[in-house]
Chain A
Amino acid sequence: MKISKQQYARSLYEAISDKSDKEVKAIIAGFVSILAQHHDLDRGAEIIQNFQELWSLERGELRVELTSARRLEPTVKASIVDYLKNKTGASSIDLQEKIDVNLIGGFVLGYNSSVLDGSLRNSLTDLKNKISN
Chain B
Amino acid sequence: MSTTKDFIVEQLKEEIAGFKGGITEKSTGRVLKIFDGIALVSGLSEAMMSEILVFKTAKGEVNGVALNLEEDQVGVIIFGDYTAIKEGDEVVATKKILEVPVGEALIGRVVNPLGEPMDGKGKIATTKFYPIEKIAPGVITRDPVKQSVQTGIKAIDAMIPIGRGQRELIIGDRQLGKTAIAIDTIINQKGENMKCVYVAIGQKESKVANIVAKLEATGAMKYTTVVLAGASASASLLYIAPYAGCAMAEYFLDQGEDVLIIYDDLSKHAVSYREISLLLRRPPGREAYPGDVFYLHSRLLERSCKLNKEYGGGSITALPIIETQAGDLSAYIPTNVISITDGQIFLEPDLFYKGNRPAVNAGLSVSRVGSAAQIKAMKKVAGKMRLEAAQYRELAAFAQFGSDLDSETKKKLSRGQRLYEIFKQDQYQPLSVAKQVLIYYTLINGLMDDVPVERVREFENGLYKYADLHDEVLKVINTRKELDEALEVQVKTLISDYKTTVEYLVK
Q: Do A and B bind each other?
A: yes
A residues bordering B, Cβ < 8 Å? 6, 110, 112-118, 122-123, 126-127, 130-131
Are B28 and A114 touching (Cβ within 8 A)?
yes
B400 at the interface (CB under 8 A from A): no
Complex CA–CA separation, A6 to B72 (angstroms)? 10
Q: How many A-B residue pairs have CB under 8 A?
A: 41
* Chain A residues in 8 Å Cβ range of B29: 113
Known: A114-B28, A115-B28, A117-B24. 5 other contacts (CB 8 A): A112-B45, A113-B46, A116-B24, A116-B26, A126-B21
B16 within 8 A of A: yes
User: Contacts of A115 on B, CB cut-off 8 Å?
Assistant: 25-28, 92
Give the chain A neighbours of B25 by CB distance below 8 A.
Answer: 114-116
> Which residues of chain B come closer than 8 Å to A118, judged between CB atoms?
23
Q: Tell me, in angstroms, the Cα distance from A131 to B18 when the chains sit together.
A: 11
Contacts of B26 in A (CB 8 A): 114-117
Judge whether A131 and B12 touch: CB under 8 Å.
Answer: yes
Which chain B residue shows the least CB distance to A119?
A: B23
> Which of A6, A114, A122 meets B21, CB within 8 Å?
A122
A110, A113, A123, A126: which contacts B45 (Cβ < 8 A)?
A113
For B5-41 the 0/1 string (1 means CB < 8 A from A) is 0000000100110010101111111000000000000
Docked Cα-Cα span, A122 to B28, in Å, equals 15
CA distance A122 to B26 in the complex (A): 12
Q: How far is the CA of A21 from the CA of B71 in the complex (A)?
A: 33
List residues of chain A with CB within 8 A of the CB of B16.
127, 131
Q: Please give, as numbers and ranges, the residues of chain B lying within 8 Å of A114 by CB-CB distance.
A: 25-28
Q: Does B77 contact A (CB under 8 A)?
A: no
Closest CB-CB distance, A88 to chain B, in whole Å? 11
Q: Which of B21, B43, B71 sits near A113, CB closer than 8 Å?
A: B43
B215 at the interface (CB under 8 A from A): no
The 8 closest A-B pairs by CB, nearest first: A123-B21, A113-B43, A118-B23, A115-B28, A115-B26, A116-B25, A113-B45, A127-B19
**B23 partner residues in chain A, CB cutoff 8 A:** 116-118
CB proximity of A106 to chain B, nearest CB, Å = 8
CB-defined contacts of B46 to chain A, threshold 8 Å: 113
Which residues in B have their C-beta under 8 angstroms from that of A110? 28
Q: Which residue of B lies closest to A116 (CB)?
A: B25
Most A CB contacts (10 A, CB to CB) among B23, B25, B27, B28 go to: B23
What is the minimal beta-carbon distance from A4 to any residue of chain B, in angstroms? 9
Residue of B nearest to A107 (CB): B23
A99, chain B: closest CB distance, angstroms: 19
Complex interface: chain B residues within 8 A of A117 (CB): 23-24, 26
Residues of chain A within 8 A of B44, CB atoms compared:
113
Shortest beta-carbon distance from B231 to chain A in Å: 33
Give chain B residues whose Cβ lies under 8 Å from the Cβ of A123: 21
Are the CB atoms of A113 and B28 closer together than 8 Å?
yes
Q: Are A130 and B15 in contact (CB under 8 A)?
A: yes
Closest to B18 in A: A130
- Of all chain A residues, the one with the shortest Cβ separation from B43 is A113
- Expressed in whole angstroms, the minimum distance between the Cβ of A110 and any Cβ of chain B is 8
Residues in A neighbouring B15, C-beta threshold 8 A: 130-131
Q: How far is the CB of A63 from chain B (nearest CB, A)?
A: 13
What is the chain B residue whose CB lies nearest that of A120? B21
Cα A118 to Cα B22 with chains together (Å)? 8
